[in-house]
Chains A and B, each alone.
Chain A
């Protein structure tokens, strides 16, 4: 089977700084794939390139074999490629329900409807409500997002992506800043996603990575260093050097 998501020599330069250097990556359909590496390795840049948030300086991105390198971000979302952000990108003055409705309305192709009120679009509302229930957010559905504690806001960040019903989900440190007890719950929710949803995850917590991922790619200095199953990566000498080296610096 061809990989569902693939890059070919993908590069991104910011001035003289090479954030992403000729990365060729393949993600298989249904994968639970983690992307790890020290800070500044270029992981978020890679997600930005995959999702179309940034345009690459060179190289190509393929979605189910189709070249999407120049495809606008929102069109990639329509094709099932959805991301979350490392730093929350939320709608502070909207209620939780309204925020999620933004996403479900768009998914159902209602974004241009201007006659009937949002609340009368029954399918959008029921989809949004179900999603909130599954994330235990129903009791704060009417709260403004800015009034929620950080952990809940982080859940809303994930909810917005899930509401698009992704086929490929790019998660950029979903548990960053979330208390340990809540991050476990968050990951259980992510792990419950149907098996045909492909997941690429950036995460610093190695416990979570090794519990969740079935394949791990290590990135250092903008380039890929290693890729394999978790057991091999855990014993890879080069990977150990990178992490130990960093630990010694600190």
Chain B
């Protein structure tokens, strides 16, 4: 595969959401959710797909971003970009602080520590009803117009372009990051953590850095969800969100940025259509797809696409 082909394919790829705006104009709220989820999946891809840090509690950072943006807007700081920055900042701080717990042990320890931290945050949000609204959710989130010009409309037009622009910008930064020497060293750590210190790499610091960056991305995604729906429900931090996230990434293909995006689109579309056909049992097909992917196409949809391209 030549480099140029990839670039051309990338242009085509990013034209699709622009086309979708015109084709699925009635469903912009759903499309916004897809873009936000894609950013969230991307955040897990950075830490799991590239650095090999497994997490079952990534929704903690998503939730922190969501509540931060929500509370700011509720108490008068409703500027969207300010909310994004604050959401990123709080999530980064939490990611940095918890990284020292998470990075200690083996994969199983990491699963349990990430899960434990997110459960604690979930129950804290549940208990602090005065602050978060608890199970009723955070009401009264009032957003100011984006850049002082574009107010969030009923048809989610602003929400869609806003989410898409943030996704594109952060995707582009991630794309630079994974191709840089820093990104290469993360892949090295994932593939052989024993060897890296012998090459002079400060493994622990690199992992702290990427874990904090992953948390920041998740925080931005959470803040976006709050701002585009003007509401925060308690399930932003729920375990099911972390689990679903992992599922989407595996489906799409971890360790590939486009895998994260394609996995999200496929998952959300499947969710939408399967739930239409069979609202009660749609997860059956989801489970079946997951088992097939893990057993027969370990690098997910992206891996299958790559093999198809390679076979030609």
A residues adjacent to B (C-beta < 8 A): 51-53, 72-74, 77-78, 82-83, 85, 89-94, 98-99, 101-103, 105-107, 110-118, 121, 124, 160-161, 163-164
Given contacts A74-B200, A74-B202, A164-B200, contact A110 B195 (CB under 8 A): no
Whether B181 sits at the interface, judged by CB under 8 Å, is yes
Contact bitstring B248-264, A, C-beta under 8 A = 1, else 0: 00000000000000000
A74 cross-chain contacts in B, Cβ below 8 A: 196-203
Q: Number of contacting residues on B, CB 8 A?
A: 25
B179 cross-chain contacts in A, Cβ below 8 A: 117-118
A89 cross-chain contacts in B, Cβ below 8 A: 192, 194-195, 198
Whether B185 sits at the interface, judged by CB under 8 Å, is yes
A98 cross-chain contacts in B, Cβ below 8 A: 184
- The answer to whether B191 touches A106, judged by C-beta atoms less than 8 angstroms apart, is no
Closest beta carbon of chain B to A70's beta carbon, Å: 15
- The answer to whether A94 touches B181, judged by C-beta atoms less than 8 angstroms apart, is no
- The answer to whether A114 touches B198, judged by C-beta atoms less than 8 angstroms apart, is no
A-B contacts, 6 of them at CB < 8 A, read A53-B197, A77-B197, A83-B198, A106-B201, A114-B176, A124-B181
Query: B184 is contacted by which of A101, A107, A161 (Cβ under 8 Å)?
Result: A101
Q: How far is the CA of A117 from the CA of B184 in the complex (A)?
A: 9
Whether B157 sits at the interface, judged by CB under 8 Å, is no
Q: How far is the CA of A32 from the CA of B196 in the complex (A)?
A: 26
Shortest 10 CB-CB contacts between residues of A and residues of B: A77-B200, A89-B195, A73-B197, A114-B182, A105-B181, A117-B179, A106-B200, A74-B197, A114-B180, A110-B181
- The answer to whether B181 touches A93, judged by C-beta atoms less than 8 angstroms apart, is no
Closest beta carbon of chain B to A126's beta carbon, Å: 15
Whether B177 sits at the interface, judged by CB under 8 Å, is yes
- The answer to whether B185 touches A105, judged by C-beta atoms less than 8 angstroms apart, is yes
Whether B187 sits at the interface, judged by CB under 8 Å, is yes
In the complex, chain B residues 143-196 whose Cβ is within 8 Å of any chain A Cβ:
176-177, 179-185, 187-188, 191-192, 194-196
| Least CB separation from A107: chain B residue | B200
Q: How far is the CA of A112 from the CA of B195 in the complex (A)?
A: 18
- The answer to whether B200 touches A117, judged by C-beta atoms less than 8 angstroms apart, is no
- The answer to whether A91 touches B182, judged by C-beta atoms less than 8 angstroms apart, is no
Given contacts A90-B192, A91-B191, A94-B187, contact A121 B198 (CB under 8 A): no
Query: B182 is contacted by which of A51, A111, A160 (Cβ under 8 Å)?
Result: A111
- The answer to whether B198 touches A73, judged by C-beta atoms less than 8 angstroms apart, is yes
B191 cross-chain contacts in A, Cβ below 8 A: 91-94
B196 cross-chain contacts in A, Cβ below 8 A: 74, 102
A112 cross-chain contacts in B, Cβ below 8 A: 181-182, 209
